[in-house]
Structure 1
Amino acid sequence: MRILVADKLADDGLEYLKQSGVAFDVKVGLKEDELASAVGGYDALIVRSGAKVTAKVLENPGQLKAIARAGVGVDNIDLPAATAKGILVLNTAEASTLSTAEHALALMLSLARKIPQAHASLRSGELDWKARGKYQGTQLAGKTLGVVGLGRIGRTVASRALAMEMTVLGYDPYFTGPSALDGRVKLLRDFDGFLSQLDVITFHVPGGEGTRHLLNRQRLFGKCRPNLLVVNDARGEVVDEYALADALREKKIAGAAIDVYAKEPPPRDHPLFGLENVVVTPHLGASTDEAQTAVAVEACKAIVAYLTSGEIRGAVNAGGIRLDLPPDEAPFAQLARRAGAMLAALFDGGVKTVTLRVHGPRTQKLAGTLLRLATVELLRPHLEMPVNVINVEYHARSRGIELVQISEASPPSGLVGDVLELRADGPNGESHRIVGTAYADLLPRVVRVDGYSMDMVPEGHMVLIVNKDMPGVIGTVGTTFGDAQVNIADMVISRTANPDGTTTAFMILKTDSEPPTSLLNRLAARPNILRVRAVALPPRGASA
């Protein structure tokens, strides 16, 4: 058993490998070709962010069984390539939780008490001592803190804020209980209502379309208290930086403390850098001696545990679950993933239960994997750390989401063969259901969405539209897309009768390019359009 350490690790991590009796080599600074030539002779690879584990590196992995990233992000590891080769990828997300949470609190305290500004003024010799009252801050005890995202870091920040005698509210659509931290943190479901109650807001959510510009211009100028302090220690795109700068200049909010940026490194003329009521740091959330030591030790422990006993800690890819299915089974894995992504697009709120019903021998044999694949795509946009078929059950359970698997002998009425039904139910009554199958052409097909019947291969860029079944709506939709220079490649239309005698239609449009947000917003504002959602799926023929 041999391990290759391809980046500089803290000495404590290397000492753990020595004490474990594992043979290891430290080779730092290997180029892509050199790393590709070396990895096949080792059972495991440990990296930080320097070594780039590309598809080329993993093309001939030899005996390589696992890769551990000493840290959180795995952007330097080609996850699809590793999964295809059956290589487990691990990270050490929990090891830096405390350091990241402490940094968010440090930003909050520095901002509230104007410490950086007072420090700079005193050090520069420019401070008028008698006028030092200009750096009078605000007390945090008694104030209301809003924590957006109640994962590991969010819960840690919340618990410490409670100890500081702050009132803490939480917002996390995928945390379905009424409260968190034994009832001490009340959860709100409406973000605007949540925002209007806050003195301080701190973000601890992943990036992506689901959280992009969660704090946007409209909310900054119309929903926030003028004394609001904004702390972003999560991802840069969560806050609209330009709108934030404008809101600060116009005193719509009181201050901001920022550690992350939409583009890193940020430009020197970043709009926040010249403002007095702003505290900025260069992405230092996990940058402590303790965190760097902890991630190194945990990466070494995780690798040794996996190689010696098969124990999996901190998995971020599929690991030992077999995804290279035979041709007659692979379409159902593709269907499960794509149905999960479609449900994620359809849902407005959190999910309480995910139910998979399977009919037929192939789907019944794959039921456990299909449920996990679907749930991964359903939850992926809303979780702060990588989710996959190995860890999805843990993430669902920690958020109170129940996963249900049901096998039935007979398919739904009107269908034959292997069929899967994926349904998601929310805590407030919202429910959506997708039914699919695969024909002799081995393409995944959606045959029902909620009450609408169809026959459609889910693929590429798609726009889902619910509308009143009225004359002119299809023309309006087509004109709106045409005006935006977005070509409609395919269209599926279905309709269903409502109890009041009216009918509602459901359109799925496939487009040749990604529809911009401005197009979707214009479409949603058109008469008789009830809902508009976009989803991006793999193209036809892709294995995902």
Structure 2
Amino acid sequence: MKVLVADKISDSGIAKMRDAGLEVDVKTGLSEDELAAIIGAYDALVVRSATKATRRIIEAADNLKIIGRAGVGVDNVDVEAATERGVVVCNAPTSNIVSAAEHTIALLLAQARNIPQANASMHACKWERSKFTGSEVLDKTLAVVGLGRIGTLVAERARGLGMRVLGFDPYVSEERAAQLGIELVRSLDELLPRADFITVHLPKTKETIGMFGPAEFAKMKDGVRIVNTARGGIYQQDALVEALKSGKVASAAIDVFEVEPCTESPLHGMENVILTPHLGASTDEAQDRAGDQIAEYVIAGLSGQMVPTAVNIAPVPPEVMEAVGPYIPLAEKMGSAVAQIASGGVSALDVLTVGQLAEVDTRILKTAVLKGLLGQISAEPVNFVNADYYAQQRGLHVTETKRPETHDYTSLLVVRATTATEPVEIAAALIGKNDEPRLVSLFGYDLDMAPGRYMAFFRYPDRPGMIGKVGTILGDRGINIASMQVGRTAEGGTALMGLVVDTPIEPDLLAEIKQSAAMNDAWSIEL
């Protein structure tokens, strides 16, 4: 089989493919026309970021079986076009995790010992020993927010330096944290006052953007030091600047920014701030590792083996797909909803299928639920191949339950999550000839809702006027209600109101509705 390497990768990666008996051609700098003209002869295409695997190129690739991106993302590959033609698309998402973790530790130590400032002073021909007295990290407390692969590597290295490590991640079990030597805390309020150093390893989501603002800085220990090698915008910039000026935050080291390249920022010129231009993955080893890893995955894909980092759906037998295919998007949305509703994270998950759906292989639905759930909280891309692996790494206990007996619906899909507080249960079905999705139950309250992109749920004592109160508040904010459903346990008991709205309900508005209408609980989700 023939492999075309269209961007420069490591020599060892190329050698690995040739040693496996593959014919490898290295042709870099090709235009789209040139690549489209020759791609038909190849079984695999390897790219980095320069070459774009467009729909035109993929449709010209009559023999193409796999596209390997020697790096983390796949933004330069038309995954939809590849999937339509049965071409596996894979990447090398773990190639840079060691580099990112080491950069985090480097920035932590650079702050503790004032290394950049001392270096600049020496280059200015000064000798200012007393000015740059530092502090040891031994016996200091490092708070790691987000215990994915990079976060756990940082924790491991910090423990090697003799640091105490606190961890906050609602989706990591206490057992898993104990194995890593991390003291797991269940809230930021508990974590922030105890930390001498804070490092964040979270994805960029609506929940994490701006999650550290004035209130969070006020709870931190005086003189705390901060590292961010994850995503720009997790720290509110104005609040960080004020905390640095006041001395609440002794110093910060920032590698990522809301807008990159970052050439204008109030952080520029601040002596207690270390800035690097998104260097977390920029090491020779990470670049070589990306080439080596993608070579392994191309070899596996061409030999018919499972590709562990495939970003498009794994093959499912046609007869199984016919039965479960319509439920896959619904299952993913249910997982996403559970992640956004669950309080304190999820420690166990059960995917229950009822009726005709229980009579077929539904493992892909379990994976779809995990993809939706973990996609809300994972810093790494989650797909149908790696979702089960990530769940296992986080210590999430996942089961499948089947009940073939008849029910009110021909088939029913139920997701049940165990959390640190209250269990979450959501049920859904496909209705009618067109298999229209419906949420039919949440927390045991009967509903009949077509899921929308923006949804909200409120639980409250059943009393007159509640619908009007919610509608009035939303109307005053210019938010249109597309649909509404109310379920209740009994007259005068508790009720659950579900809404689909045209625009997001932001946290401050959700809190206002909860307080003004005396709600017990309120959730806003985006699917």
Question: Which residue of structure 1 aligns with residue 494 of structure 2?
Answer: 504
1:220-255 per-residue CA deviation (whole Å, 9 max, x = no partner) reads: 1x2101111100111113222222112111222111
The answer as to whether partners of 1:328 and 1:442 remain within 8 angstroms in 2 is no
Deviates more, 1:244-253 or 1:312-321: 312-321
Cα distance in 1 for partners of 2:318, 2:445 equals: 31
Taking the TM superposition and a 5 Å limit, the aligned residue runs for 1:44-63 are 44-59=44-59, 61-63=61-63
1:130-189 per-residue CA deviation (whole Å, 9 max, x = no partner) reads: x54221122111100111222222222111111111111111111112552636211111
Cα distance in 2 for partners of 1:363, 1:53 equals: 39
Q: Cα offset for 1:382?
A: 1.0
Q: Cα offset for 1:424?
A: 1.1
The answer as to whether partners of 2:40 and 2:63 remain within 8 angstroms in 1 is yes
1:27-68 per-residue CA deviation (whole Å, 9 max, x = no partner) reads: 323344554555444222211122223445434553222222
Which of 420, 435, 449 is matched with 1:456 structurally? Answer: 449
Instruction: Give the SS at the match of 1:157.
Output: helix
Instruction: Give the SS at the match of 1:58.
Output: helix
Question: Which residue of structure 1 aligns with residue 248 of structure 2?
Answer: 252
Cα distance in 1 for partners of 2:512, 2:136 equals: 44
Q: Cα offset for 1:79?
A: 3.4
The answer as to whether partners of 2:200 and 2:230 remain within 8 angstroms in 1 is yes
Deviates more, 1:520-529 or 1:189-198: 520-529
The answer as to whether partners of 1:88 and 1:320 remain within 8 angstroms in 2 is no
TM-score by length of 1: 0.90
Is 1:217 matched up with 2:217?
no
Question: Which residue of structure 2 aligns with residue 364 of structure 1?
Answer: 359
1:420-460 per-residue CA deviation (whole Å, 9 max, x = no partner) reads: 2111112x242111112112231111111112111111122
Which of 422, 436, 440 is matched with 2:428 structurally? Answer: 436
Is 1:104 matched up with 2:101?
no
Cα–Cα, structure 1 residues 78 and 517, in superposed 2: closer, same or farther, change >3 Å? farther
The answer as to whether partners of 1:454 and 1:492 remain within 8 angstroms in 2 is yes
Taking the TM superposition and a 5 Å limit, the aligned residue runs for 1:75-474 are 75-125=75-125, 127=126, 129=127, 131-178=128-175, 180=177, 182=179, 184-220=181-217, 222-266=218-262, 268-321=263-316, 329-412=324-407, 415-426=408-419, 428-440=420-432, 441-474=434-467
Cα–Cα, structure 1 residues 271 and 395, in superposed 2: closer, same or farther, change >3 Å? same
Q: Cα offset for 1:282?
A: 0.4
The answer as to whether partners of 1:51 and 1:76 remain within 8 angstroms in 2 is yes
The answer as to whether partners of 2:42 and 2:64 remain within 8 angstroms in 1 is yes
The answer as to whether partners of 1:343 and 1:424 remain within 8 angstroms in 2 is yes
* Amino acid aligned to 1:24: V
The answer as to whether partners of 1:101 and 1:154 remain within 8 angstroms in 2 is yes
1:197-224 per-residue CA deviation (whole Å, 9 max, x = no partner) reads: 100011222222232223222101x210
1:476-535 per-residue CA deviation (whole Å, 9 max, x = no partner) reads: 3222222222211211122224xxx95222222212233344433433442412333222
Instruction: Give the SS at the match of 1:236.
Output: coil
Cα distance in 2 for partners of 1:287, 1:40 equals: 34
The answer as to whether partners of 1:446 and 1:454 remain within 8 angstroms in 2 is yes
Q: Cα offset for 1:347?
A: 0.9
Cα distance in 2 for partners of 1:328, 1:90 equals: 27
Is 1:30 matched up with 2:30?
yes
Taking the TM superposition and a 5 Å limit, the aligned residue runs for 1:516-535 are 516-535=506-525
The answer as to whether partners of 1:333 and 1:370 remain within 8 angstroms in 2 is yes
Cα distance in 2 for partners of 1:484, 1:37 equals: 55
The answer as to whether partners of 1:324 and 1:330 remain within 8 angstroms in 2 is no
The answer as to whether partners of 2:339 and 2:345 remain within 8 angstroms in 1 is no
* Amino acid aligned to 2:513: L
The answer as to whether partners of 1:464 and 1:508 remain within 8 angstroms in 2 is yes
* Amino acid aligned to 2:216: R
Deviates more, 1:104-113 or 1:46-55: 46-55
Cα–Cα, structure 1 residues 430 and 12, in superposed 2: closer, same or farther, change >3 Å? same
* Amino acid aligned to 1:404: T
Is 1:21 matched up with 2:21?
yes
Cα distance in 2 for partners of 1:376, 1:342 equals: 12
Cα–Cα, structure 1 residues 430 and 121, in superposed 2: closer, same or farther, change >3 Å? same
Cα distance in 1 for partners of 2:182, 2:250 equals: 24
Structure 1 vs Structure 2 CA RMSD: 2.3
Cα distance in 1 for partners of 2:168, 2:319 equals: 38
Deviates more, 1:308-317 or 1:445-454: 308-317
Cα distance in 2 for partners of 1:249, 1:82 equals: 51
* Amino acid aligned to 2:397: E
Cα distance in 1 for partners of 2:120, 2:478 equals: 51
Cα distance in 2 for partners of 1:214, 1:56 equals: 41
Question: Which residue of structure 2 aligns with residue 540 of structure 1?
Answer: none
Cα distance in 2 for partners of 1:78, 1:241 equals: 34
Cα–Cα, structure 1 residues 226 and 79, in superposed 2: closer, same or farther, change >3 Å? farther
Cα distance in 2 for partners of 1:296, 1:391 equals: 20
Deviates more, 1:23-32 or 1:316-325: 316-325
Cα distance in 1 for partners of 2:310, 2:159 equals: 31
Deviates more, 1:309-318 or 1:183-192: 309-318
Instruction: Give the SS at the match of 1:175.
Output: coil
Instruction: Give the SS at the match of 2:389.
Output: helix
Cα distance in 2 for partners of 1:312, 1:69 equals: 13
The answer as to whether partners of 1:84 and 1:324 remain within 8 angstroms in 2 is no
Identity %: 38
Query: How many corresponding residue pairs?
Result: 526
Cα distance in 1 for partners of 2:337, 2:272 equals: 42
Cα distance in 2 for partners of 1:57, 1:474 equals: 54
Cα distance in 1 for partners of 2:29, 2:526 equals: 37
Cα–Cα, structure 1 residues 118 and 408, in superposed 2: closer, same or farther, change >3 Å? same
The answer as to whether partners of 1:229 and 1:255 remain within 8 angstroms in 2 is yes
Cα distance in 2 for partners of 1:360, 1:64 equals: 40
* Amino acid aligned to 2:100: T
The answer as to whether partners of 1:89 and 1:319 remain within 8 angstroms in 2 is no
